[in-house]
A and B are shown apart, each in its own frame.
Chain A
Amino acid sequence: MPRGWAGLAMLVWALCWPVPGLGKEAAPAAEDPVLEARMVRITGELRCLVCQNQTIADSHAGLAIDLRNQMREMIKRGDTDAQIIDYMTARYGDFVLYRPPLKATTALLWFGPMGMLLVGAAALLIVLRRRQRMGADKFELDELDTAEDKP
């Protein structure tokens, strides 16, 4: 394309451009972005009860929208995060929390992975040490092919 054409295209494109002043800087969707951020952080760990595995923050469901509004009110009123979560738990039970609370019935859930890691590591050590103590006759003939290791 000749340079002139490119210049013309640029000009046409610049004319199509919204004139400054016609469009304005878009307003934040929320009245108070700080409050909104806090609300999103709290609802991001709460389950929308009428949806299929979505957080209240992400959901478009009517209930979730109502709850988000309610939480904005609670934040405005000066409630702490803990108070809001307590309120939600009192109303909907532990089911609403994506971070299950630590209690007798969830101890296994929270400590299970650490327990498995300890058991796994211990089992690994025991197996390896037992192998070390075994006589050479217990093992198969060593056919180490070193080709892969040498450059």
Chain B
Amino acid sequence: MIPEIGHFALWLALGVAVVLGTVPMLGAARGREDWMAVARPAARTLFVLVAVAMACLVASFVRHDFSVLYVASNSNSALPLKYRIAGVWGGHEGSLLLWVQMLCIWMLAVAQFSRHLPLAVLSRILSVMGLISLGFLLFMLLTSNPFERLFPVPADGHDLNPLLQDPGMVFHPPTLYMGYVGFSVAFSFAVAALIGGNLDANWARWTRPWTNVAWVFLTVGIAMGSWWAYYVLGWGGWWFWDPVENASFMPWLAGTALIHSLAVTEKRGSFKNWTVLLAIMAFSLSLLGTFLVRSGVLSSVHAFATDPRRGLFILAFLAVVIGSSLTLYAWRAPTVGLGARFALVSRETFLLANNVLLIVAMGAVLLGTLYPLLLDALNLGKISVGPPYFDTVFVPLMTPLAFLMGVGPLARWKQAALPDIATRLRWAAGVAVVAALLTGWIAGRISLMASLGFVMAWWIVASLATDLWERVRPAGGMPTHVMQRLRLLPRAMVGMMVAHFGVAAFIFGVTMVKTYEVERDVKMDVGDSTQISGYTFTFIGVRDVAGPNYQAVRGAVEITRDGAKVAVMRPEKRVYRVQQNPMTEAAIRPGLLRDLYVSLGEPVEGNAWIVRVYVKPFIDWVWGGCLLMAFGGLLAATDRRYRVRARREESLPAAVLPGASHA
């Protein structure tokens, strides 16, 4: 009964989406307030219906209802509760439902927290979001119904893929999807503004906090995924340029370009057309990413052929969304104003250059991800595009970006002078080079690639420090004013600085771990030990342990430093009972300056095992940097000017959600 309720709720949701996608839009076109008034209640109803469907699917998982095909394929009676819930998004059908659920959350947030928007604008935005949900609901109901029944009912389920049975599965997909789908808000605002012809500074101001919050979710989501790969895949890599990762990275790059472009559009009214195009691009890439990951096309283009309905629907949906928004763009963009004038050398120009680099980087990732699919589809041979390719094309694009990150924030809006910037940054440049060489020297070895990385990281830090000092330095020689000025810095600016500092920390971590990581692959009998980087790893032995749905061998490796015990690490090798694939669970001792990483290989003669041990310097800075970026984005999204506007224009109390303090 429960699956039928969920299924029925989805059909009802489809009906509501049709109404939401048409009535308020037509109302806005004809100036009918009663039609526009449908938007908000329809959005809320849609949210409730999809939430009901979601709850039904969760309930089917929790209750082990293996008469539901999707549950039978992705769960098992021995699966722990948290993974039964996470199993909801463990496959194609449930992921789509999660996607729509997230879309509805954003829709509800827009409906709740945008009361100060003119009714026509809000109606158009919600209508566009309604149309997007319509597409996804249709896709689900026509080709990927998560509530499909299975007869005869199997005795037990096929289990969730063991790779996904990890706490990462509980948090990573929802966070990532929240980010992906969050760009639908910027997209819908842009499309609504194109239709309504109100692309002005207000539009940029409305869009900015929403885009920032979506970007924050996406950043955190990607970082979580990377961390998960790091501890679960066994060899301690943190980014593999896997198409699935690229699928989330492309919208991130476009979104990063978008938040920078929005800054100019809000401040100066310039690049409106470009900003709109980026908003369309970021969301289109989110759609593309969702489908790339979920359609099976990545493992083989021929996966499309096994279920041509899905493939065709996906292609048609992408074509409709991207095609119609670009057509609308081509029609409306020429009428959009140029904004305020700026000189060839100005902060505007630097931000545009940043956008060019980010979008070219996104294009390179897109090219590398789709190229093998295209060649295969055209029967021109099968190739693989992997890390060697991406590293080769990506680093040269990021290097100038890091340089610009130092220069841009110091350049004045409208008109800047290169000699002036050079003078102000000469100390930063010197400090960056000296600090980079010093870092290499302390780490033990100065290499060219490492120095390049360190120079980038220190350059960003030093120019940030210069920027900060120029803003707070005592003008009349009163040192007490420094603290006061520090407090007066707008939160958006602090956010920018924190995020840029995060980039520096990220680059620092990547450079450190790529250059100075020490790895040892050893054969260890009980009592054997090996030393790396001053740590002694002693193998104590292994024992069998039984998990809820797996058998494991758990090793114990004691780590000492200068005779003092640091930790006992317990890496595991698991075999999940249903699907019978072996899984490596590395043991990690994280630290600010280094991670110790132990992973069990294969058993060899006697009680000996192949054990792989690593000392990974500064690797946590990779994710720490991402979290700083995200925190910076959050600070910027909650800047006073959005909150003040919201409070002034809203009759209701200030919102609680972070996404709410937008404007």
Q: Are A151 and B360 in contact (CB under 8 A)?
A: no
Choose the segment among B28-36, B383-391, B455-463, B651-659 that binds chain A (4+ C-beta atoms closer than 8 Å).
Answer: B383-391
A94 and B582 contact, Cβ closer than 8 Å, known pairs A109-B389, A149-B413 = no
Complex interface bits, A10-50 against B, C-beta within 8 A gives 1, otherwise 0: 00010000100011111111100000100000000101000
Q: Are A36 and B360 in contact (CB under 8 A)?
A: no
Q: Are B384 and A98 in contact (CB under 8 A)?
A: yes
Q: How far is the CA of A60 from the CA of B413 in the complex (A)?
A: 55
Q: Does A139 contact B (CB under 8 A)?
A: yes
Q: Does B533 contact A (CB under 8 A)?
A: no
Q: Are B338 and A134 in contact (CB under 8 A)?
A: yes
| Chain A contacts with B in 132-151, Cβ cutoff 8 A | 132, 134, 136, 138-146, 148-149, 151
A30 and B582 contact, Cβ closer than 8 Å, known pairs A23-B538, A98-B388, A105-B375 = no
Q: Could you say which residues of chain B place their CB within 8 Å of the CB of A36?
A: 521
Q: Are A23 and B299 in contact (CB under 8 A)?
A: no
Complex interface bits, B249-285 against A, C-beta within 8 A gives 1, otherwise 0: 0000000000000000001110000000000000000
Q: How far is the CA of A110 from the CA of B496 in the complex (A)?
A: 34
The total of interchain contacts (Cβ-Cβ below 8 angstroms) comes to: 172
A95 and B383 contact, Cβ closer than 8 Å, known pairs A22-B527, A26-B539, A148-B493 = yes
Q: Does A52 contact B (CB under 8 A)?
A: yes
Q: How far is the CA of A29 from the CA of B601 in the complex (A)?
A: 10
Q: Does B485 contact A (CB under 8 A)?
A: yes
Q: Could you say which residues of chain A place their CB within 8 Å of the CB of B478?
A: none
Number of residues on chain A facing chain B (CB within 8 A): 59
A149 and B412 contact, Cβ closer than 8 Å, known pairs A26-B528, A116-B363 = yes
Question: Of A26, A94, A99, A120, which is within 8 A of B381 by CB?
Answer: A94
A113 and B397 contact, Cβ closer than 8 Å, known pairs A149-B412, A149-B413 = yes
Q: Are B522 and A151 in contact (CB under 8 A)?
A: no
- In the complex formed, the residue of B with least CB distance to A28 is B522
Complex interface bits, A100-140 against B, C-beta within 8 A gives 1, otherwise 0: 10000110111011101100110110001101101010111
Q: Does A53 contact B (CB under 8 A)?
A: yes
Q: Are B527 and A105 in contact (CB under 8 A)?
A: no
Q: Does A93 contact B (CB under 8 A)?
A: yes
CB distance from B232 to the nearest CB of A (A): 13
Q: Are B529 and A113 in contact (CB under 8 A)?
A: no
Q: Could you say which residues of chain A place their CB within 8 Å of the CB of B380?
A: 105
Q: How far is the CA of A67 from the CA of B499 in the complex (A)?
A: 45
Q: Are A151 and B471 in contact (CB under 8 A)?
A: yes
Q: Are B384 and A131 in contact (CB under 8 A)?
A: no
CB distance from B442 to the nearest CB of A (A): 26
Q: Are B475 and A151 in contact (CB under 8 A)?
A: yes
A98 and B414 contact, Cβ closer than 8 Å, known pairs A29-B601, A121-B356, A139-B338 = no
Number of residues on chain B facing chain A (CB within 8 A): 76
Interface of B, secondary structure class, is mixed
Most buried by A among B240, B383, B529, B539: B383
A98 and B338 contact, Cβ closer than 8 Å, known pairs A25-B529, A26-B522, A109-B367 = no
Question: Of A24, A25, A93, A124, which is within 8 A of B353 by CB?
Answer: A124
Q: Could you say which residues of chain B place their CB within 8 Å of the CB of A121?
A: 356
Q: Could you say which residues of chain B place their CB within 8 Å of the CB of A145?
A: 267
Q: How far is the CA of A30 from the CA of B602 in the complex (A)?
A: 13
Question: Of B338, B412, B520, which is within 8 A of A131 by CB?
Answer: B338
Q: How far is the CA of A129 from the CA of B343 in the complex (A)?
A: 10
Q: Could you say which residues of chain A place their CB within 8 Å of the CB of B610?
A: 29
Q: Could you say which residues of chain B place their CB within 8 Å of the CB of A139?
A: 337-341
- In the complex formed, the residue of B with least CB distance to A109 is B371
Complex interface bits, B359-389 against A, C-beta within 8 A gives 1, otherwise 0: 1100110011001000100001111111111
Q: Could you say which residues of chain A place their CB within 8 Å of the CB of B242?
A: 53
Q: Could you say which residues of chain B place their CB within 8 Å of the CB of A22?
A: 527
Q: Could you say which residues of chain A place their CB within 8 Å of the CB of B414?
A: 142, 144
Q: Does B465 contact A (CB under 8 A)?
A: no
Q: Could you say which residues of chain A place their CB within 8 Å of the CB of B360?
A: 113, 116-117, 120
Complex interface bits, B311-348 against A, C-beta within 8 A gives 1, otherwise 0: 00000000000000000000000000111111110000
A120 and B521 contact, Cβ closer than 8 Å, known pairs A95-B382, A112-B367, A139-B341 = no
Q: Does A74 contact B (CB under 8 A)?
A: no
Q: Could you say which residues of chain B place their CB within 8 Å of the CB of A95?
A: 382-384
Q: Could you say which residues of chain B place their CB within 8 Å of the CB of A94?
A: 381-384
| Chain A contacts with B in 49-85, Cβ cutoff 8 A | 52-53, 55, 58, 60
Question: Of A97, A116, A151, which is within 8 A of B384 by CB?
Answer: A97
Q: Does B235 contact A (CB under 8 A)?
A: yes
Q: Does B470 contact A (CB under 8 A)?
A: yes
Q: Could you say which residues of chain A place their CB within 8 Å of the CB of B339?
A: 139-140
Q: Could you say which residues of chain A place their CB within 8 Å of the CB of B240?
A: 53
Q: Are A148 and B490 in contact (CB under 8 A)?
A: yes
- In the complex formed, the residue of A with least CB distance to B415 is A144
- A sample of 5 inter-chain contacts (CB < 8 A) reads A30-B521, A53-B243, A55-B386, A112-B364, A140-B340
Known contacts A105-B383, A139-B341; can you find 14 more A-B pairs with CB under 8 A? A23-B539, A26-B611, A28-B522, A53-B242, A60-B584, A96-B384, A97-B384, A109-B371, A112-B364, A113-B397, A144-B414, A146-B413, A151-B475, A151-B485
Nearest 9 interchain pairs by C-beta: A98-B386, A23-B527, A99-B388, A113-B364, A26-B522, A26-B528, A120-B356, A95-B382, A29-B521
B residues in contact (CB < 8 Å) with A: 233-235, 237, 240, 242-243, 267-269, 299, 337-344, 349, 352-353, 356-357, 359-360, 363-364, 367-368, 371, 375, 380-389, 392-393, 397, 412-414, 470-473, 475, 485, 490, 493, 520-530, 538-539, 565, 582, 584, 601, 610-612
